[in-house]
Structure 1
Amino acid sequence: MAQWSEVELEGLVLHSGRLTLRPWQPQDVPAVLAIMADERMHRHLALPWPYTAEDARGFVTEHAQAGRAAGTRLDCAIAENAGGRLVGSITLQLPAPGHVSAEIGYWVGVADWGQGYATEAVRTLARFGLANGLGRIQIRCEVPNAASAAVALRAGFRFEGVSRDSLRAGGLSGGGLRDGAVFARIVTDPDEAIAPSWPRLEALSDGVVTLRQTGPRDWPVLLAEVNNEEARQWAFHDQSITEANAVSVADRAGLDRLVSRQNSLLICDAASGVGAGVLGLRQFGPPDVVAIGYGVLPSFRGRGFTTRALRLLADWAFDATPTVRLELGCKAANVASARAALSAGFVEEGRRASRLRNPDGSHSDEIIFGLVRPAG
């Protein structure tokens, strides 16, 4: 019988409020096969695609059994307490002798996304590991996998950074290596959720413009917004960005919202859903002050999209976040940007000489605009 930290692993079952974390059983094969038939499961999991019945049998009857038997992994099926229905998988990768750091990996079937099952299972397994001698448990997920990153935070894991090329890409990505976002809990960390840096903005619309969170598939809009001639006229440097740059920024947008001081929103045409521009937020300096940057693609300019997006943003920021002041700036000659700010209710507050660099290396004065939370 394999033991770890004087705990017998082969028959170990853990319970939480709604879930049972139990050993895998041969009768789980059909449920695993059904879950893995959904392509969405393979966006970030390094599993075969297409996923066959043989893959499911190999996982359930061989791979998921071997770790418990050897004392190197605690592989658990996640099942509902009521009825025993299989909803996912979770593994505690145990450290080698003399080491104290472990790792948790998990997945939940698409039908049960949004139910909090992954968070509950991770918290249960982390409590078990930390109570039995582990000094540290980490979670790694692909940088674009913001849903998994959110689970880590809700389970009390702190963001520690990004490890480059540390994970095998999901099966639908064609293999290769991807950057991993690293989260960890140590014994002395409080057993409580960690709040995201920014609340999620659910899509807002005034009927003409829609404002929503930027996601991995939005990289073409980010690329076009930076590289068009008018945008480059007002840029700080005479440099375009590559497709790879835009993909990287879009991939990281969801993670940044959760763990950083910046947040990227997409300005869309409400009628078509097509991306029309980008609106970026950044927390800096004094608490509760947010700086704004924006750009709209040439084909959507002159239609008031920036003004409408700024109004939607202001309503959300003052209602859903502790923001007390929004501010933005533009080069003195950028009349269109200044007009959009004023039309959205921002107040011109002053001019800072030679503050913003031009592509040719010279500097322009910056006009400052501010909007404060309404009284009451």
Structure 2
Amino acid sequence: MNDSNGVSSLFSGHPISKNIIYHSLGECSNPESAYLKLAAQFLELERAGKTVLSLIKSDNLPTVAAALKLGLVPCGLITSKDPGGTDVDVVVLNYSSTEPGPVSFTPFPQKGLSDGMLTLRISTRPDGARMFQDHYDSVTRFWSIYPDIPFSQFDKDCRLANLYWLLGKKMMLSIFENKTQELIGRISLRPVVPPRVGDVGYGVFSGFRGKGYASQALKMLSGWLMTDGGFNRLELGVKPENIASKKVALKAGYVLEGISKSRLINQDGTFSDQLSYVKTNP
């Protein structure tokens, strides 16, 4: 079907369930307007007992944003084939007139955040190789709570970092040293269950440690999250023996709130206590 502006929408049935309807939007300059015009049709299908799933390519962020604004709810990421046979990531969003949509993060500055010495920007696909390399650095592995992660996962996460941010799933930022333009670390935020609360993580790569970069990046991001970002409380967990990470938290203005016993797994399968640091919005 085409609307009055010639924007095409394709509706197709599910190969197994007759109650599932797939929807895809053709190329358009104003996806928000296009989705608003589809709202009545989506509602009609829902009232007829149909589940409407809108399929959008993961790199088409304006269309994903328009679907989210209408209230569609993300329900997964699938791999499909483009006309040339290449695998593409596709976001699946479910229309619901009753279920509230996700809470998106505040849009991050296009040019990133900079204090003159460091710049933080949303991670991109080229950053994945360096992050994968750091994942197997001996210092990183010693303190990490994560198992071995393949390169394909780093590649995917960095490729989809803008999408993850838009969906409110997590924030993945790369840290760059301005004078060399080198990627020197990473910093991330994961929302937790209470609204406007997030869990932060950070790491500086070998060769750039001991320069105060981690605390500098953490302080910069925390400041933005609590002003423009709308967060009220930021949390981070540190193993008691990780002296460097404790110094980073304190230098960035976090305070020790308490200890959680046997919370963080070690690489040998044992568990360490967690020192819980917090920063709240004044």
Q: Which residue of 2 aligns with 1:302?
A: 210
Give yes or no for the alignment of 1:161 onto 2:161: no
One-letter identity of the residue aligned with 1:154: K
Give yes or no for the alignment of 1:183 onto 2:99: no
Q: Which residue of 2 aligns with 1:141?
A: 56
Q: Which residue of 2 aligns with 1:350?
A: 258
CA contact (8 A) 1:196 1:257 kept: no
Q: Pick one of 128, 136, 151 that aligns with 2:66.
A: 151
Q: Which residue of 2 aligns with 1:199?
A: 106
Q: Which residue of 2 aligns with 1:288?
A: 196
Q: Which residue of 1 aligns with 2:36?
A: 123
Give yes or no for the alignment of 1:317 onto 2:232: no
Q: Which residue of 2 aligns with 1:86?
A: none
Shift of 1:278: 1.4
Describe the superposition over 1:84-138 as per-residue Cα deviations: whole angstroms up to 9, x where unpaired: xxxxxx3333559x76724122224xxx6xxxx1221232244456558874543
Q: Which residue of 2 aligns with 1:255?
A: 163
One-letter identity of the residue aligned with 1:123: L
Shift of 1:370: 1.4
* CA radius of gyration, larger in: 1
Decide whether aligned partners of structure 1 residues 369 and 127 sit closer, same or farther in structure 2, where only a CA change above 3 A counts. same
In 1, Cα distance between equivalents of 2:75 and 2:270: 38
Q: Pick one of 6, 10, 21 that aligns with 1:92.
A: 10
Moved beyond 6 Å, runs of 4+: none
Shift of 1:157: 2.2
In 1, Cα distance between equivalents of 2:64 and 2:125: 15
Q: Which residue of 2 aligns with 1:25?
A: none
One-letter identity of the residue aligned with 2:92: V
Decide whether aligned partners of structure 1 residues 352 and 122 sit closer, same or farther in structure 2, where only a CA change above 3 A counts. closer
Aligned residues with identical type, % of pairs: 27
Q: Which residue of 1 aligns with 2:152?
A: 244
CA RMSD of aligned residues (A): 2.9
Q: Which residue of 1 aligns with 2:269?
A: 361
One-letter identity of the residue aligned with 1:184: N
Describe the superposition over 1:308-332 as per-residue Cα deviations: whole angstroms up to 9, x where unpaired: 1111111111112332211212111
CA contact (8 A) 2:32 2:63 kept: no
In 2, Cα distance between equivalents of 1:100 and 1:298: 50
In 1, Cα distance between equivalents of 2:221 and 2:252: 10
Gaps of 5+ in 1: 1-8, 15-19, 22-75, 77-89
Shift of 1:267: 1.6
Aligned residue runs from structure 1 range 42-53, under 5 A: none
Give the alignment's TM-score, normalised by structure 1. 0.64
Decide whether aligned partners of structure 1 residues 287 and 94 sit closer, same or farther in structure 2, where only a CA change above 3 A counts. closer
Q: Which residue of 1 aligns with 2:130?
A: 221
In 1, Cα distance between equivalents of 2:274 and 2:3: 63
Shift of 1:289: 2.2
Give the alignment's TM-score, normalised by structure 2. 0.83
Decide whether aligned partners of structure 1 residues 325 and 100 sit closer, same or farther in structure 2, where only a CA change above 3 A counts. closer
In 2, Cα distance between equivalents of 1:272 and 1:140: 41
CA contact (8 A) 1:162 1:181 kept: yes
Decide whether aligned partners of structure 1 residues 216 and 105 sit closer, same or farther in structure 2, where only a CA change above 3 A counts. farther
Where 1:140 maps in the other structure, the secondary structure is strand
Gaps of 5+ in 2: none
In 2, Cα distance between equivalents of 1:205 and 1:353: 37
CA contact (8 A) 2:24 2:56 kept: no
